[in-house]
Structure 1
Amino acid sequence: MQKKIKFLMMITIIIYINNFAFAYINGYKTLIGVSALWAISPFLLLTIASFILASDYKKDYLIVKKEARISFILKVLSCIVAFYNYKFEIGSLEYIVRFVIIAILCIINVNLEYKMYRIAKKYIPKLDEEEVKPVSEKEKWNIKNYGRAATLGVGSFILVVTGGMNIVFIAQMSRYYGLICICIFIVFLKMNYDKNMLFYQDKVIGKRIFLKDAFYASLGFGYNCAVAFNFISGNDFIENTALIVGICFLYPTIVTNRKIALRQREVSKVIRDNFEYYYNDENNPYK
């Protein structure tokens, strides 16, 4: 638990360094082209930091549940302050206040997570909290597909955030690029379908979860398309927050990806030294 809190603190420091750097550089330079993709970085970093919120899969996280939620909200607020497209002159009062707010949030965040570390240091897990869901023989032989599913989950998420949900910004460069974003989103859906078919032995359940995740992701992407192609006439605020709205609709997909990654890790721990044996399809009696 202590190592996990230390990892969280490291990610938090990276997030705030990233926020300070972006706010400073974007204050005197307009980021275009590849450099403009920097604006996506907080979503990826916040996704990594969200592991501490997974108290439904990791019961020991419950001891810092309240602090973890507050900490995550502070990071989100900091990213909004740093990455929202304000038009402040360098050296102006508003420009300075922006950095002061980020600094205050950083100090509160670091102190809060240090408190979480002290709580974790005193924490003694109960035996029943360390119990792992029994691993069936079929799951052991499916470890190769679990790994592929986890990789597809991470890859598809990065793909849809950088090239799909970001259609509002990309379409500003060229409407034709917006069509590429639509193709990328279709690829994302295909990758997620394959992911669920690889992970779930019950294909009916796998399809049902895919349809649920795809439905919410499509709502978020549809909203971004409407903004990008002016079906929704929006001001700067709507355009700058469209990606955030889209990411929120990816939450069910994030939950599924987390579930797959955690289960893959649990099964790997069970088979341990026999990993290569179970990974080899030639030994698989179920094929």
Structure 2
Amino acid sequence: MNTEMKYTPLSDLSGGGASETKLRIAVQKSGRLYDESVKLLNECGIELRNVKDRLKTVSDTFPMEVFFLRDDDIPQYVEDGVADIGIVGENVLYEKNKAADVVEKLGFGKCRLSIAVQRSQTYEGVQNLDGKRIATSYPFLVSEFLKKQNIIAEIHEISGSVEIAPGIGLADVVVDLVSSGSTLLMNGLKEVETILQSQAVLIKNKTLNKQQEILLEKLLFRIKAVKKAKRNKYVLMNAPNDKLQRIIALLPGMKSPTVLPLAETGWSSVHSVLSEDEFWEKIEQLKAAGAEGILVVPIEKMVM
């Protein structure tokens, strides 16, 4: 297996020594994580200039330099300390097996690394992989999985279009990233086993200095506020006073709901926050309890 690293020379990014007053972050320059990574930074108040077709840019609103790199290279740059932190998929991080710490799961770019076989095949468990030819772009993760399962199989490393391997006789089984599963179906395959659940994560170099750690904590504070807001909705409703206690009991909120009297006698306005996980169930219960004029507002930031 060819393990030679092919990535931009370190000097091209470091410029002979980056300022310690800035936090250097590596993000994907194109692909499925790019848009969400840049969007997250913007939502954290980190505005980037001259992003398009650039290898490096800076923020005017936060002490940060941003490097735009191939996703496969990001763990290497973070391990080497050229970038202090990075946003990368767990699948890439664990496949590259570099020395970097995960500091926050970001909640986007969710997918899974799965085993798939031809739909006509019977699959009874991992023992069916014994002696098989497996095509994948993730040889390290597949090898580790097979070792844990005491399975001996032949791994064929392929870069792209892994799903066609069984159809052309190159392999019996594939291990590839799956989101919806539609690509597997189009190629006559079925998903039978999941090796890894993956999402975008924020990683850091293991030897950040004190100043870098302080900047990272500030960034994490903003990221957590953005993530919290996305998982919650601000809800306002009108409630008859004779049903107020029943309605309040349905609303956990951050501490307790806010209740304000309306101009119309016998009615109050109730304000609260609902989790996305229980949102629709709670709304149905609130209507059944007598709430009217329910207004749902997205939350931009949520600081606890």
Larger radius of gyration between Structure 1 and Structure 2: 2
Provide TM-score, normalisation by structure 2: 0.22
Provide TM-score, normalisation by structure 1: 0.23
1 or 2, which has the higher strand percentage?
A: 2
